[in-house]
A and B are shown apart, each in its own frame.
Chain A
């Protein structure tokens, strides 16, 4: 059975801190790993990673994938209160019938205090 595990479950930091969120996975027919930010609404897409070792960056956020060790990290530098959210890691699997589905981790709840 496919599995995605995120750590830590929750995290409280102060503005300006740097945080690292972890995601490990065991998925057959891996295609990609995606990171989402979820506040009290729909998950918002952050990154999609398909290749090992290539860092993706967007402003203060960055992410990297290690397909050998089966994990990914999401870094947020100079955190702001607006970064407070649940961060979700999901892995896309490819099925033999060419379909796709996401298996999600349980999420990391980040709270950034002023």
Chain B
């Protein structure tokens, strides 16, 4: 069974540009979430999508946005890139279960973004 797949794996962008990252969740998983990982801030939640709807958003500026398609694949976009956006962007998917049960959340390999 294929894991969470993210593309591209590595990219370099210039300040002011925009970037789109893609994520294909594990087959059958409908919940997709995005995280930013930096040495200084660690792993921080960006947003989560379920059935094409954004359910939750972390404390990031509006330059960070995302969407989810009907096949559960997701994209995130960062506009007007800043140097501080350089980070590892991780996508995670889960079979979301309502109620008290926890959800096993699996991560992709990530997209390494460098802003110069």
- B-contacting residues of A (Cβ < 8 Å)? 31-34, 36, 41-45, 48-50, 88, 90, 92, 95, 97-107
| Contacts A31-B102, A32-B102, A100-B94; A42 near B31 (Cβ below 8 A) | no
Number of A-B contacts defined by CB within 8 Å: 77
Taking CB as reference atom, which chain B residue is nearest A49?
A: B102
Tell me the smallest distance from the CB of B111 to a CB of chain A, in Å: 11
Q: Once the chains bind, are B55 and A98 in contact (CB under 8 Å)?
A: yes
Contact residues in A for B101 (Cβ distance below 8 Å): 31-32, 50
Chain A interface mostly: strand
Closest residue of chain B to A43, judged by CB? B107
Give the docked Cα–Cα distance between A90 and B94 (Å).
15
Q: Is the CB of A48 within 8 A of B104?
A: yes
Residue of B nearest to A100 (CB): B103
Taking residues whose C-beta sits less than 8 angstroms from the other chain, chain B's interface range is 20 to 34
Bound-state CA distance A34–B105 (Å) is 9
Extra inter-chain contacts (4) besides given A102-B92, A103-B45, A104-B44, CB under 8 Å: A49-B102, A50-B100, A95-B56, A101-B45
Residue in A50, A92, A100, A104 whose beta carbon sits within 8 Å of that of B43 in the complex: A104
Query: In the assembled complex, how far is the CB of residue A85 from the closest CB belonging to chain B, in whole angstroms?
Result: 14
CA of A32 to CA of B94, assembled, Å: 13
Q: Is the CB of A50 within 8 A of B50?
A: no
Cβ contacts B22-57/A at 8 Å (1 or 0 each): 000000000101010000001111001010000110
Taking CB atoms, residues of chain B closer than 8 Å to A45 are: 104-107
Assembled-state Cα–Cα distance A97/B57 (Å): 12
Q: Are A42 and B55 in contact (CB under 8 A)?
A: no
A49 to B105, CA, bound (A): 12
